[in-house]
Structure 1
Amino acid sequence: MGLNQTAIFIDAGFLLSLGGHRAAGTTLRSAFTTHYESLVRGIIQTVKQNSGMSNLRVYWYDASKDGLFTEQHKRIGLISGVKVRLGRISYNGEQKGVDLRLALDLVGVARTRAASVAYLVSGDDDLAEAVEEAQDLGMKVVLLGVAKSESRLGVASVAEHLALTADSIETIPDQLLDVAFTRVIEWDQEHSEKSAIVFKAASDSDDGISEVRSTVPTPAVMAQKSSRQKSVEPMSYADVVYSSGSGRQGYQGNAVYEQKELSVAEEIGGKVAESWLALTTQAEVLELLADKPQLPLEIDRTLLKDCAQVLGEWTTDQQKIRRVLRSAFWEYLDRLM
């Protein structure tokens, strides 16, 4: 191999979901703040300590509308040693082209011998072939993940095939994640109650949502709602540790196992609704109601990502689980009425 140095490849969606969930208990972007400079520099330092080598470059992969740089992407791109590579967000909210760009860059760096070791921050099984090709060209590929003790792999949300393909697995220090990701706000009952008033008023209005757009709750109404809603407590699934055990006979063959999954999914749906309501504006509540029962793409993606963090990608792909997640989101809001 040529130069004795590293290159770091970061799937931003993967990393931000894990870091945000650790800090705020949800992948909802508005629920946490990411300190990008600290995060990138901390990862570079972690790689240097692990490898003893200097770093060629950090490749940061994300998606945006029409593949254009947002202000956030510009800020990340201005960090020394970072190159931002953007895919596109499709009509249905999915990332397009991100994995392809990462795979091409990984193989390209290996082919040109610009680095001898790649550190990959991703868990996507689709990258396994690119990893193997880079290895065939003489590059060592190390997975850099977020520690999860209850996972058999020791890291969160990494496909087993990708883990088996990589040369080794290292973890990002917990201290770095605690510094780089910060919860925006604790559960705010007063704010949630105010949004709930708008939710109820819009739902009850004979003339529809348009009548409520200029409505501002009075202190008297707020006090009345507060006394009526004291029974609604914040939900938390942060302590849920889910394990399939060694005796699992399959999703359809174990009713008890399935019921536990559905119960966890229901709790997650309520937690996402709670987090969203505590951080949203009255205008956003009205927009949500206008499309009921359809959920905005951001909320729907958050439900699926949060569920995958607890139950795994395969379980979250089950339609029954997805229906429970979405129903629980609406049921939480309905209970506030």
Structure 2
Amino acid sequence: MGIPDLSASVFAMKYAILVDVGYLYAAAGEVLFGARERREYRVAADELIQALQKQAAERLPGELLRVYWYDAAHDRVPTVDQRVIAALPMVKVRLGNLNKQGQQKGVDAQIRSDLDALARHSAVTDAVLIAGDEDLVSAVEAAQAYGVRIHLWGVEPSYGSNQAERLVWEADFVEVLSADLLRPFVRQANPLPTSPSQPSTPTPAQVFAGRPAAATTTRAARTPSPAGSALSKLGPNRDAVEEVGEHVAQKWILTRGRDNVRDLLPGPILPTVIDTELLIEAEKELGHSLRPYPEARVWLRDGFWNRVYREFDLAERKSAK
């Protein structure tokens, strides 16, 4: 009998990272800022996902299959942030429902279903689970019965424990994500004031007001050249395009929620995925393509930001400067 090729078996090893975003964000907000609600902080999710991938690559043999990102949204309509995350390579967003009380529904069921399918079909040999709910114990036990090793990662608690004791018992390996590891990717938000008696609380308008020179320069840089103006006579009308941009912004505020659109502030740069989506929706409204007209895409963004600035009382502050 020959010596088995161990390098081939290591190469065949694969792992998945399953993240309960509600747990990860809440635990990070608690340990870093003592925050109780997600609106109190902002997370650079794309950078955080890269950090988790790097952490796993340093600790697990084999290769990453993909990251499963379990979050929730009202009526399962993805937010701006969730749409950006869904476009990342090797990341699959799974959405549960977020009810009127801000409670996640259906997230644990999706984690259990995916973990069972990955184990049953031998898609992975190891699974990193970032979660804390005891409801996941049965899924962990089932995956282990198929031979999958469970690596349970938890966020450093501010005190006591933030993971169910039985879940910790059942895991094959347990690791703590330190506050220092998470700190670069989580920052406190600048909430809108709840009443006029709180002038010391910075608002998005105040944040933007501190950047008048950048806003003016950007606007000037967008002025079409004579060649661009001549081309525009053969293409779309500027007022019509800006109006469509405002219409799309209004639609997003209504369907995706004011808080989610506020995440785009202070602008004026849009994430590539969101900018492309804005273009697609505008072309549907206009009934023709804007892609041959670069200046029209600038007008579209101008209209979009005009409506967003008005929504958050930024337009008046900017013009007053």
TM-score (norm 2): 0.56
Query: Which residue, out of 167, 174, 195, partners 1:162?
Result: 167
Residue 63 of structure 1: how far off its partner (Å)? 1.0
Partner of 1:13: 22
Gaps of 5+ in 1: 199-221, 227-276, 282-297, 299-337
- Find runs of 4+ consecutive structure 1 residues off by over 6 angstroms: 277-281
Decide which structure has the larger Cα Rg and report it. Answer: 2
Residue 149 of structure 1: how far off its partner (Å)? 7.8
Partner of 1:197: 197
CA 1:183–1:4 in structure 2 vs 1: closer, same or farther (change >3 Å)?
same
Return the letter of the residue paired with 2:24: L
Deviation string, structure 1 residues 54-97 (Cα, Å, up to 9, x no partner): 21100000111111222211111112211000111234432211
Return the letter of the residue paired with 2:165: E
SS in 1 for 2:197: helix
Partner of 1:69: 78
Partner of 2:189: 184
Deviation string, structure 1 residues 143-183 (Cα, Å, up to 9, x no partner): 111123853xxxx4100011111112112243330111112
SS in 2 for 1:195: coil
Given that 2:31 and 2:179 are in contact with CA atoms closer than 8 Å, whether structure 1 keeps it comes out as no
Residue 58 of structure 2 corresponds to residue 54 of structure 1? no
Following the alignment from structure 2 to structure 1, what is the Cα–Cα distance between the partners of residues 138 and 34?
A: 32
CA 1:27–1:279 in structure 2 vs 1: closer, same or farther (change >3 Å)?
farther
Gaps of 5+ in 2: 1-8, 206-258, 260-321
SS in 2 for 1:135: helix
Residue 106 of structure 1: how far off its partner (Å)? 0.4
Partner of 1:101: 110
Return the letter of the residue paired with 1:174: A
CA 1:182–1:112 in structure 2 vs 1: closer, same or farther (change >3 Å)?
same
Following the alignment from structure 2 to structure 1, what is the Cα–Cα distance between the partners of residues 133 and 165?
A: 9
Residue 278 of structure 1: how far off its partner (Å)? 7.1
Return the letter of the residue paired with 1:118: A
Partner of 1:139: 148
Following the alignment from structure 1 to structure 2, what is the Cα–Cα distance between the partners of residues 8 and 122?
A: 11
SS in 1 for 2:195: helix
1:1-337 matches, cutoff 5 A: 3-148=12-157, 150-151=159-160, 156-185=161-190, 195=195, 197=197
Question: How many matched pairs?
Answer: 197
Deviation string, structure 1 residues 191-213 (Cα, Å, up to 9, x no partner): 86x82638xxxxxxxxxxxxxxx
Question: Alignment RMSD, CA only?
Answer: 2.9
Identical counterparts, % of pairs: 32
SS in 2 for 1:126: helix
CA 1:278–1:23 in structure 2 vs 1: closer, same or farther (change >3 Å)?
farther
